A and B are shown apart, each in its own frame.
Chain A
Amino acid sequence: MPHVVRADLKAAQTALGAGDFVAALKEVQPVWQTHPLDAALITARSTLELGRPDLAEKAARAALTMKPDSYAALLLLGSALQRQDKVIAAEYYFRRALDVSEDARAKELSRNVLRSLQRQKNWLVDGTFGIVPTSNVGKVSDEKKNQNRLGGI
């Protein structure tokens, strides 16, 4: 009865869209049998909104086992971890979400959550690394040596 399943999924999605997360969780139960990825995502989002990030984490991880590069699953898992103050793990999944995001809106959302997370962290670690081809590696040495020698600043 595929049309019945589609109706259940639609009902769960409608409840989620309307912000009725309890109803979404109720409607999504039969959907696990036929559309487990959608069910996991709806469960993760609903439980997150209902203040149960631990359950949201489980559901989002389940979604990720089904589709490792799911943007929605990565974002939801990052959010669930962030709500549990697991900021380093959250940052990892938000960064992966940015990697897999395809449209401009998804990218902007990923960037916003990453920037917000940076402000939330107690410790901020930043690094830079690269190569420097230059036309004049001696310029600073000349400059500094001559400043000493000639008294310029």
Chain B
Amino acid sequence: MSARSPTKKKIKTVLGEFDIASQSERGLGIYGGLYLTRQTPLANGARFDFGVNFYAKAFRQHEFNMKTRGATASFNFPLSERSNASFSASKSRFSFGGEPYSDTTKLGASYGFSTAAGRILRFDMTHEKQNIIDNADQLSYENSGSVNFGVWRSKQTYVSLELRGNRRTSEHPAFDSWGKGASVLARYNPKDTGWVIEGALSRNQKNWDRPSGITPDVRHDNEWLLSMSTYNSNFSFLGVTPTFRYTYQNRKSTIPIYSVLSHDVFVGVTNAF
């Protein structure tokens, strides 16, 4: 089900200004994911996990369907009673509209530390190689890092802040970019209600080094992202409870076709534990 309402956007190219039709649509799709993980406990509390995953969204108009399948291996080990570290490697393929779009290989390392009060400090670093599967076979690399730290914890509330940064380079220098972002994440569990409310507000910025060669302008994106989810763990059937998630995305780009304003709602089920 969908209602098409095409909108026109102007784009300035090195060959002049053109109108580009952008399809802004309301639609109803279904999604499903399956994650299978083999857990192998090792000596001294360490663990090796290997998993395969599949995730798909399907709409009535098949050109919007998307599918991800991949495999992940991770090695987690405690460093002390309150700290741990992990290394991971993953490979995934993203398909769009029934056709392969990209192959991504990712290597990651993380370190986590929990204070006596239960607040968590976490560092993550990843190196990613992405191949856009098209005639040009664009290959790019991204190094990213993030730090997340708990700033407030009570019986009902947990609030953390996250800072992120990344650098993407490519075989073609026109695609090189810097990205940075910050998020406030919160989890609230009103006393004696069973409700769990989680939210995250993010501000992201991405700046390309130079014009792409097609447009004379350099692309700069500024984005607000808000996501909220809620479920009531007091209501469950075989340990599963309905969940509701809402995502708002507002991205403004110096190149108008990259601007996005969207509202997404996910209604599904999740484990109540």
A: which residues have CB within 8 A of B? Answer: 91-92, 94-96, 98-99, 104, 107, 110-111, 114-115, 119, 121-144, 146-153
Chain B residues at the A interface, C-beta cutoff of 8 Å:
2, 22-40, 51, 55, 57, 59, 61, 63-64, 66, 96-97, 101, 130, 132, 134, 136, 138, 140, 168, 170, 172, 174-175, 177, 192, 194, 208, 212-215, 219, 233-234, 236-240, 243, 255, 257-258, 260-273
Q: Which residues of A contact B29 (CB under 8 A)?
A: 131-132, 134, 137
Q: Report how many A-B pairs have Cβ atoms within 8 Å.
A: 185
A92 contacts which chain B residues (CB < 8 A)? 238
- Measured between beta carbons, the chain A residues less than 8 angstroms from B63 are 141
Q: Which residues of B have CB within 8 Å of A131?
A: 28-31, 266-268
Contact B260 A143 (CB under 8 A): yes
> Besides the contacts A131-B28, A137-B64, A151-B138, what 20 more A-B pairs have beta carbons closer than 8 Å?
A99-B239, A111-B272, A111-B273, A123-B38, A124-B39, A129-B30, A131-B31, A132-B30, A132-B264, A134-B28, A135-B264, A136-B260, A137-B26, A141-B97, A143-B260, A151-B213, A152-B212, A152-B255, A153-B138, A153-B175
Chain B residues whose CB sits within 8 angstroms of the CB of A148 once the complex forms: 132, 134, 136
CB within 8 A of B273: which of A110, A133, A138, A143?
A110
A129 touches B269 (CB 8 A): yes
A99 touching B236 by the CB < 8 A rule? yes
Docked Cα-Cα span, A102 to B45, in Å, equals 34
Classify the interface of chain B: helix, strand, loop or mixed. Answer: strand
Contact B59 A137 (CB under 8 A): yes
Q: Give bound CA distance, A114 to B272, whole Å.
A: 10
Q: Separation in Å of the A57 CB from the closest CB of chain B?
A: 20
Closest 6 CB pairs of A and B: A130-B268, A95-B239, A137-B27, A138-B23, A111-B273, A136-B262
Contact partners of B194 in chain A: CB under 8 A = 107
- Expressed in whole angstroms, the Cα–Cα distance for A130 and B58 within the complex equals 11
Cβ contact within 8 Å between A146 and B66? no
By a CB distance below 8 angstroms, the chain A residues around B170 are 153
Please determine whether A127 and B175 come into contact, CB atoms closer than 8 angstroms. no
Asked if A136 and B24 make an inter-chain contact with CB atoms under 8 angstroms apart, the answer reads yes
Minimum CB–CB distance from A125 to chain B (whole Å) comes to 6
CB–CB B34/A151 < 8 A: no
* Nearest B residue to A136, CB-CB: B262
B216 CB to closest chain A CB (Å) equals 12
Bound: A146/B132 CA distance, A:
13
Q: Which of B264, B268, B272 makes the CB contact (< 8 A) with A128?
A: B268
**Cα distance, A125 to B55, chains bound together (Å):** 14
Could you tell me if B140 and A128 are in contact, using CB atoms closer than 8 angstroms?
no
